[in-house]
Structure 1
Amino acid sequence: MPNVLVTGSSRGIGAAIRAALEKRGATVIGHASKQSTVSSITADFTDPKAPGQLWDDALAQAGGRIDILINNAGIFEANPLRSDDADWLELWERTMTVNLTASAQLSRFAVQHWREEGRGGRMVHVASRAGHRGDSPWHWHYAASKGGMLAMHKTIARAYAREHIFSYAVAPGFTDTSMAGDYLDSRGGADLLKDIPLGDVATPKEIATIATFCALDAPASMTGAVIDANGASYVR
């Protein structure tokens, strides 16, 4: 069975992905931004050197072979327009560093690894509905980071498909995690559900089901695809 590196696997969607993969028999190398009670490699993505260290540690733990990368780690923090200029820019940069740049670094390491080994590999990017339709006025940075992730994913898929390096993306809407719960509360709570035709948010298990399918089962011809999971709140 494959060796899978899952970032942000200590809670929420990442923890659900890890559980689903392990249930299928995969060997999962987990990651957490802080020390966790779950077996994981600790790496704080606000440090530009952290993704490289994580990759090296994960590769060593996996015996020199990683077959699948799942970019799931991310932050979601409000950044009001009226914030102090320096504070607004600091949060913009931190969000880009964690949500996009770290994913780009790990994707690059993965592609290089698979090309050097002369074999294929898969990556799955957990993006967001916000990458398509934008987000609230307090979350320009989050939407931009996820839009960038989707553009990166499509570029990787187009560039390396002939080498059997496949890229898939999942774009959840609101998901029942602590991160989404804070957002729902800040934007009016249950009233925000009126924007979702389904009338409910996704569960981490639902998103994990999609990510696991992409990681283990999706056909090669699906490379480059983005799977939406947003209760029909954004259809395209």
Structure 2
Amino acid sequence: MDGFIAADLDQPGAAAALWHSAIESLGSVDVLINNAGVFEANPIDGGDEEWLAGWERTMRINLTASAELCRLAVRHWQTRGVPGRIVNVASRAAYRGDSPAHWHYAASKSGMVAMTKTIARAYAKDEILAFAICPGFTMTGMADDYLASRGGDKLLADIPLGRVAMPDEVAEVVRWLALDAPASMTGAVLDVNGASYVR
């Protein structure tokens, strides 16, 4: 195995196939990190079917696939009687909301936060821990196009730190939650947004 297993999480059955491929390759999984996502504009003035298709695609990739993987992970750890950790990468939009063309994105990430808290409460007794992080804009391809289309200077003015997060900053928080965060933090949601939304 070269270390990578690909999946198109928009396709039915892809999340389960990804999980089973990982188990087949690795034997077991100790940590699940849900980081796949899309951020596609879906303005309300489009056609009804087009709008619904955009909503459902975002939910499938951002929330449903993550839920499927979380379920499979929890069952995997329970069956083996071993601890496990889940880190779900949500978004600042889960709390702050997003642009008028991104209702679906904000809703999917809010659902991810609620799911994380529910998993944490339900399975702490089994030493299955769940955490979420809520990044703001991060310098990835997903944010580049949005910043360019919306006027980067205006958006940056809303971030007290004066810049977007770098991928390695977000990755460091994910790594810490996956490996080192104390068990008593299960259910925690950490912000990585340069103080652009403080709660």
* Matching of residues 80-229 of structure 1 within 5 Å: 80-229=43-192
What is the SS of the residue equivalent to 2:157?
Answer: helix
2:19 to 55, 58, 64: 55
**In the aligned structure 2, how far is the partner of 1:50 from the partner of 1:80?**
27
Over the matched positions of the two proteins, sequence identity in percent amounts to: 62
Q: CA deviation at 1:80?
A: 1.2
Write the distance in 2 (CA, Å) between the matches of 1:84 and 1:179: 25
In structure 2, the partner of 1:42 is: 6
The residue type equivalent to 1:58 in the other structure is A
Paired with 2:12 and 2:129, the residues of 1 have a C-alpha distance of 25
Instruction: Specify the code of the residue in structure 2 equivalent to 1:56.
Output: H
1:72 has 2:40 as partner: no
Amino acid at match of 2:84: G
> In 2, Cα distance between the equivalents of 1:129 and 1:42?
27
Q: Which digits, 9 at most, give the CA deviation of each residue in 1:20-59, with x for residues without a partner?
A: xxxxxxxxx9xxxxxxxx8421211111200110010000
In structure 1, the residue corresponding to 2:133 is in which secondary structure?
strand
Q: Normalization by structure 1: what TM-score?
A: 0.83
| Runs of 4+ with deviation above 3 angstroms | none
Q: Find the aligned partners of 1:43 and 1:176 in 2 and give their Cα distance.
A: 23
Q: Which amino acid aligns with 2:148?
A: D
Asked if the contact 1:48–1:102 (Cα under 8 Å) also holds between the matched residues in 2, the reply is no
Scaled by the length of structure 2, what TM-score is found?
0.98
State how far apart, in whole Å, the 2-side matches of 1:193 and 1:78 are.
20
RMSD between aligned residues: 1.1
- Unaligned regions of 5+ residues in structure 2, if any? none
